[in-house]
Amino acid sequence: MRRRRLVENWIAAYGLVCPGCPWNQGRPHPVDPYGPNANPLTADHVTPVADLVAAGVPVAVAEAGPLRVLCRRGNSSRVNKGKGNRA
């Protein structure tokens, strides 16, 4: 519910625009949540839950951490292959 509300509020304020993500050099760009190459907006943990849990933070506390809006492609691109950590 918290994630959906964040994304809905973002869309109401800014439209279908990603605020910027790693694959796009941090530049804002439009998103298409419905097309054949759908790239919807998602809620992303600022600090990855896995990193917090690995540091000893309880899962429930890590899940409740701050969120931000990114497109799915940008959210996925934060994961470094083979490490599980995010950029």
Position 87 in a domain: no
- Asked if residue 71 is part of any domain, the answer here is yes
Between CA 57 and CA 43 the distance in angstroms is 20
Task: Give the domain range for residue 48.
Answer: 2-77
Confidence label for 82 from pLDDT (cuts 50, 70 and 90): very low
Looking at per-residue pLDDT, the higher value among 79 and 25 belongs to 25
Quick one: how many helices (H) and strands (E) in the chain? 4, 4
Task: State how many domains the chain has.
Answer: 1
* 86 domain residue, yes or no: no
Nearest in space to 7 (alpha carbons), one of 58, 53, 75: 75
Separation of alpha carbons 37 and 32, rounded Å: 8
Q: Is residue 83 part of a domain?
A: no
Q: Is residue 84 part of a domain?
A: no
pLDDT digits (tens, 9 = 90+) for 20-71: 987 778 899 999 988 888 999 999 999 999 999 999 999 999 999 999 999 9
Name the pTM for this structure.
0.80
